[in-house]
Structure 1
Amino acid sequence: MNFESFCFDSRIASGIRATGYSAPTSVQVKAIPAVLEGCDVFGLTQSGTGKTSAFVLPILQRLITAEAPTRGPIRVLVLAPAREQVLKIHEKFISLGKQTGIRCSAVFGDGDAESGIQIKLKEISRVTVLVATPDRLLELINRAEVDLSHVDTLVVDEADTQLAMDFSVEIKSILAKLPLKRQNLMFSATLPSSVSTLSAEILHDPKIFQIANTAPVETVKHICCPVPIHLKQEFLKALLEDIEFESVLVFVRTRRWAERLAARLVKAGYNAVSLHGDLSQSKRKIVLDGFKSGEFNIMVATDLAASSLECSSITHVINYDMPDTFEIYRHRMEKAGIDGKKGVAFLFAADEDIAQVVEIGKLVEGRLSVHHLDNFDYKGAKPEPVLPEVVKKKERSKPGRAKKGNKRHIHSGKGSV
């Protein structure tokens, strides 16, 4: 099947060609016809499956078919959990709908409830599609600065993440402001009871489909590196010297550590940069463009900030901080296996992380090996062996050094309106 099978308007077809799409993914094959028919939809699918385009394309088509005004009122409302997801969806509407004239804007927070709304309020009345985080949108609703009375399509994306972030109250408050007659689309990576309950409240006789994508990426090699917590920074630099890479994505838990670690890598001579939720939109664009172009070959990021990152040059993912769940680990390591390319996922593990290492080892079906650096000074403390039942073999250090480049680091900054 190809995209011509959906008979999209020529203006949308132009956007599809411009983005380089060749054939629809499984989720697009299932979702697009259902959305075009006007049905409610529930999709159980992971990120990275083409899910965003699966609802953006048919929504654009329905707006064109209905001859909806291109400059308001708001006809389509998309709820997403955080700024990164909001921006990704917003950018997809802009790129795919470039020739349609349909206007889309984004509302999201930037840490400050008053100054963090990233949209000029006067523009809201002139857009047809609004993508927003529930908390910031509810602020606008409570201040009577947004009119949702004309919304006829609602999308709740990453529903499980939104509910895990305790947005259930905000979502229900927003639902109360929408017309009862509307098309509802919901997407979720998992199906906890909270998502089932919300879907029952929102969806009416929905088309339901599931795209299996829960197995670990087969092209990614999983390696555990036992290292004491106080030596992780030095170990990271030693590891970067030991491997040959094109681009490396390093995951940490907090914004502060993303900045600090990136700065220390820059000081060591690497082209490193940090990505986190406190970067302004302009600095985020500089960081992402620089990483994708190769200007920066090491990115230190938080999970949420990097959730929508897609960069085919990533050859290695380093779990500097242990992921809290296997689902987080899976999302991280998939960044090194985009488009079926081979990659490596390193997992830094201290003594207290053994239980999580065991669990990850089981879930990657025993494909977790252990790696010790021959040239690294463990300060006389021999690393505790990773439990043999979760590792396949012991990896020894390999020759080869990564290329270094000019020092450059984009520091954090507060967003502005």
Structure 2
Amino acid sequence: MSFETFGLDPRVNVGVRAAGYEQPTPIQEQTIAEAMTGRHVLGLAQTGTGKTAAFVLPILHRLLEGQGPLGQRHHGRGTKRKTRALVVAPTRELAEQINDEFRTLGQATGLRSATVYGGVGFQPQIEALRGRADIIVACPGRLIDHMERGNADLTNVEVLVLDEADHMFDMGFLPPVRRILKAVPDDAQRLLFSATMPQEVAHLAEEILTDPLRVEISRKAPAETIDHALVAVDEKAKTALLLHLLRTQDHRSTLVFTRTKHRAKKLARVLDEANVFVAELQGNLSQRRRQEALDGFKDGTYHVLVATDIAARGIDVARVSHVINFDFPDTPEAYTHRIGRTGRAQRSGKALTFVTENDFGNVLQLERQLNMRVTRERVDGFAGPDEALERLGPGHAAGRSAQGRSRRGGRPGGRSGGSRGASRGPAREGGREGGAREGGAREGSPRAGDRQPAHDGGRPSARAGGDRPNGGRSGNRRRRPSRPRPAGERD
């Protein structure tokens, strides 16, 4: 099956070809044609299944063809645009990723999209909401701010998408989402996507969707292009082990996950002092610094990005060579989401997880739910206690790991693992973008060894200033200038 069979508007197909999409993924194959007719959709799918294009393409087609339930509302030349499609996402990074998809796939359509989220200025967003964008991709907190100030008119919305609804629930966003829903016309098409289905999200779906198409894409096993390994290590030796690996192996683009924001900040500081080109990505950073870190990691300015689970949502970097779980993930879902950042588009990747004695039960649970045994590796000089090694099984030289089952994939760079289940991930940070949390716990509480640094120290998030002395694999390299992006309209 090809994208031509959907009968998309020719201007949309220009973007499909430009993106290099050839065959649709399962969720795209099952969703696009029905969504083009205006049918409501309930999609159960993980990040990396191609779900973003599954709703972006029908939205572009419907806005061009004027097939929305609200009739012919397309703007004329020189007139102000109206918000005709609204996508609500839980994080800034995911909102940017979705907007990038609209820009790529809609490059020949003449339609304009813009992002609305916290941590950046209001004015560009006000201009977008008041007539410079047809499509708005928004985080709930900032959109509510604009609604309260009279900046957002949602009465012309023809298509509404709620993406990653389970994570919006985790972050305490369902109350503001319900307020947004009330501002959208009752006859607007509605699509809801979620990796899991907590009871609250199921109730929301029942309330807002009418005779929906239900699409369920199960991704219990990670991609086969990823080698997995566990390394037993004492808690106090984790940082030394990480530095050893970065210096002795080719970790050209490494994503390191920690459990808490404070842990990410502290670890990034230590790596920076060890002459590693490193940036951090965690919820306490401003949007400018988050974007600088992401841009630098993508273009190779930074070899290592230290991130938390929440801040990393929406990261779309095609060439991540390694994922290192510095702290063991809280759930199998978190594991598959983390390691799905590598091994994309048929490229090989390595996922390495540090395991302490406190993680034994989690290892067994992970292997049971993924139905796979993960390779155990020993690193000379860094083995954990004998008991830990015995519980984890015999060590092996670095090599092939247990593999997930084969998976089908249609879009380049779009495959990542993920498992569905009723268990919820870790607590979500920041209930409002760039502000205080709305009705939820703070991100991860520190565990043993996660002591919070005594002070901020005023260090920038993206670290790598000036020339580096020879040290490890960082070598001598100058930092490139940062390029913070505006967050308003993106034509």
TM-score by length of 2: 0.75
Give 2:273's match in structure 1, choosing from 263, 267, 270.
267
The aligned amino acid for 1:132 is: A
Partner of residue 11, structure 1: 11
Matched, 1:53 2:53: yes
- Structure 1: how far apart are the matches of 2:344 and 2:93? 19
Deviation readout 1:46-79 (Å, 9 max, x if unpaired) = 1111111111111011101116227421111111
- Structure 1: how far apart are the matches of 2:178 and 2:370? 37
Kindly state the Cα deviation for residue 118 of structure 1 after the two structures are TM-superposed: 7.9
**What pairs with 1:86-165 in structure 2 (closer than 5 Å)?**
86-110=95-119, 119-126=124-131, 127-165=133-171
- Structure 2: how far apart are the matches of 1:5 and 1:152? 24
**What pairs with 1:35-50 in structure 2 (closer than 5 Å)?**
35-50=35-50
Kindly state the Cα deviation for residue 260 of structure 1 after the two structures are TM-superposed: 3.3
More deviation, 65-74/188-197: 65-74
Partner of residue 434, structure 2: none
Contact 1:247 1:298 in 2 (8 A): yes
- Structure 2: how far apart are the matches of 1:362 and 1:75? 45
Give 1:350's match in structure 2, choosing from 351, 356, 361.
356
Give 1:72's match in structure 2, choosing from 81, 93, 110.
81
Kindly state the Cα deviation for residue 395 of structure 1 after the two structures are TM-superposed: 2.4
Aligned length: 406
Distance 1:191 1:54, change over 3 A: same
More deviation, 199-208/163-172: 163-172
- Structure 2: how far apart are the matches of 1:285 and 1:216? 28
Name the one with the larger helix percent: 1
Q: Which secondary structure state, in structure 1, belongs to the residue aligned with residue 345 of structure 2?
A: helix
Distance 1:28 1:310, change over 3 A: same
- Structure 2: how far apart are the matches of 1:13 and 1:151? 24
- Structure 2: how far apart are the matches of 1:312 and 1:254? 25
Matched, 1:365 2:353: no
Kindly state the Cα deviation for residue 207 of structure 1 after the two structures are TM-superposed: 1.1
Matched, 1:176 2:179: no
- Structure 1: how far apart are the matches of 2:134 and 2:167? 26
Kindly state the Cα deviation for residue 312 of structure 1 after the two structures are TM-superposed: 3.3
**What pairs with 1:317-336 in structure 2 (closer than 5 Å)?**
317-336=323-342
Deviation readout 1:202-258 (Å, 9 max, x if unpaired) = 100111111121223333232222222222211110122343333211012334433
Distance 1:208 1:402, change over 3 A: farther
Partner of residue 388, structure 2: 385
Partner of residue 311, structure 2: 305
Kindly state the Cα deviation for residue 386 of structure 1 after the two structures are TM-superposed: 4.3
Partner of residue 462, structure 2: none
Matched, 1:34 2:18: no
Partner of residue 238, structure 1: 244
Distance 1:278 1:410, change over 3 A: farther
Return structure 1 stretches of 4+ with deviation > 6 angstroms: 413-417
Partner of residue 259, structure 2: 253
Q: Report the identity percentage.
A: 37
Matched, 1:404 2:474: yes
Contact 1:278 1:415 in 2 (8 A): no
Contact 1:78 1:156 in 2 (8 A): yes
- Structure 2: how far apart are the matches of 1:336 and 1:233? 22
TM-score by length of 1: 0.88
Q: Which secondary structure state, in structure 1, belongs to the residue aligned with residue 203 of structure 2?
A: helix
More deviation, 402-411/303-312: 402-411
Deviation readout 1:343-397 (Å, 9 max, x if unpaired) = 2211112222222122123234342232232144x7xx84542454x64x41247
Distance 1:303 1:73, change over 3 A: same
RMSD of equivalent CA atoms = 2.9
Distance 1:198 1:24, change over 3 A: same
Contact 1:154 1:182 in 2 (8 A): yes
Contact 1:354 1:386 in 2 (8 A): no
Partner of residue 321, structure 2: 315
Contact 1:108 1:117 in 2 (8 A): no
More deviation, 21-30/153-162: 21-30
Kindly state the Cα deviation for residue 161 of structure 1 after the two structures are TM-superposed: 1.0
- Structure 2: how far apart are the matches of 1:307 and 1:369? 27
The aligned amino acid for 2:297 is: F
Q: Which secondary structure state, in structure 2, belongs to the residue aligned with residue 332 of structure 1?
A: helix
Q: Which secondary structure state, in structure 1, belongs to the residue aligned with residue 341 of structure 2?
A: helix
Distance 1:36 1:77, change over 3 A: same
Contact 1:57 1:96 in 2 (8 A): yes
Contact 1:279 1:414 in 2 (8 A): no
- Structure 2: how far apart are the matches of 1:82 and 1:336? 21
The aligned amino acid for 1:8 is: L
Q: Which secondary structure state, in structure 1, belongs to the residue aligned with residue 108 of structure 2?
A: coil
Partner of residue 202, structure 2: 196
Structure 1, unmatched stretches of 5+, are: none
- Structure 2: how far apart are the matches of 1:382 and 1:172? 51
More deviation, 32-41/61-70: 61-70
